[in-house]
Structure formats: structure tokens, C-alpha cells
Amino acid sequence: MNFLLDGRLSLITPEGVRLQLVPAGPVVRAYAWAIDFAAWGFGASVLISVLGAIIPSEKLFNGVTALLFFFAYWAYPVLCEVYAGGRTLGKQVLGLQVLRADGLPVRWRESVLRNLLMVADFLPLCYASGLLSMLCDRHFRRLGDIVAGTQVVYRDKPPKRIAVADAAPLPLPFPLTPEQQRTLADLFARESRLPHGRMLELADIAEPLTGRQGEASLERLRGMAAGLVR
């Protein structure tokens, strides 16, 4: 469940926690795209120079560069979004990131879908469809975002927290339904964005599962979540 409040996207997670996200508008996203395109152009120039030096045949050179440019153009944003927290170079510079509609990080399916549909956003010319979509959508989503279930938001600076070692996986004391398992895993996927006090409250609620309260319950929950995702 989510709604806009004072220009912010207020998203209610399954744990009852409200996340405040600020959707990024078309202007700042255009700047991010320009930075990404400049970076891609620089990389393409370097690649042309290297391939020109090692491929003697002009026809082979043209064919290889066309294929590499095609794959590099699509692979660059997808790899950055999946492995760099939803941030390409341009988004990193401007403090943006791509998230799923539920506030979780994007994965391969969402990233590939939103970037392949960028072609539709450029139709009929000059990004007209994408711009119209962002101006009409209250979350400033382009067509690719709407179809993929993603959104581009401003990235909050993460608060400084004491580093916690990875939890050792723990078995569940009794079976949970798939929805309950997903909720537990999603809770710790969002842990860096939630207040520690709220995490302790949820850990107390989970006493029937952990048999403990407070920090001890939270640590056992973290271990059970680690056991689910590993």
C-alpha cells in the first residue's frame, strides 16, 4: 500500500513500517541519463580504438563492434541496477536509485524489462512517450517502470550503524507458510532502512517463533532469515 504525502511516496511494508521515498522527476533523470550516455560513449571510443588495432578486416571490425555495442548498451544499465544497488553511474552521481514498487531492490526480471522497454519510451521521437508518461504518472514513472513495477527515487543517505557480522543460519522451530517466509526474508532485506527500535518491536512480536525477546529475539530472527535466503 502506498500514497503520496507532501511530495513523498509513503509506502507501507508488510511489517507495518512506513518508508518515505521521494520520486525523481524527469529533469534529474534526464541529467542522469546524459551522464550514463557520456560514460557509454567514452567506453565505446576506447573499445573502437582497441578493436581497430587488433582486427585487420574492416568488415569483421564493423560486425564485431556493432554486436559489442548492442550488448554493451543493454548490459550496462542492467548490470549496474542489479549489482550496484539500483544505481548506474549517472544515478550514483545525482543520488538516485531504482527500486521495486514495494521498496525492495530490483532483480534481473525488473531491470531487464524496464531497460528493454526504453525503446518504447523514445517513440515516436525524442523520448516523447516516456516524458508524457512521467508527467501523467504521480510517481513520475516512464512506461518501462510501469510495466516492470519499478520506480526511480532519491536515495537517502544511510545512517551510520554499528557493523554487525553476518548471522549464522538457524533452522525454523516449526514450518512457516511461503507468505510468512517471504515476510521474514523481506524484513531483513529492508533492515538498513528501518529504525532499530522498530526492529526490536517486531522481534518482540515474534516471541512465539524465537522464544526470546529484545535483542536476543532479533538475533534469532536474523539467523532464521539467513537460513531462508542461503
Entry pTM: 0.63
Phi-psi region for residue 19, left (φ > 0), alpha (ψ -120 to 50) or beta? beta
Residue (of 138, 42, 48, 31) closest to 92 by Cα position: 31
| Assigned C-alpha cell, 131 | 516524458
pLDDT digits (tens, 9 = 90+) for 128-147: 898 899 989 888 999 999 99
Q: Which of 58-67, 74-83, 87-96 has the lowest average pLDDT? A: 58-67
Check if the beta carbon of residue 23 is closer than 8 Å to that of residue 9: yes
Cell of 31: 541529467
The DSSP code sequence of 201-226 is HHHHHTHHHHS--HHHHHHHHHHHHH
Cell numbers given for 116: 528493454
DSSP classification of residue 169: P
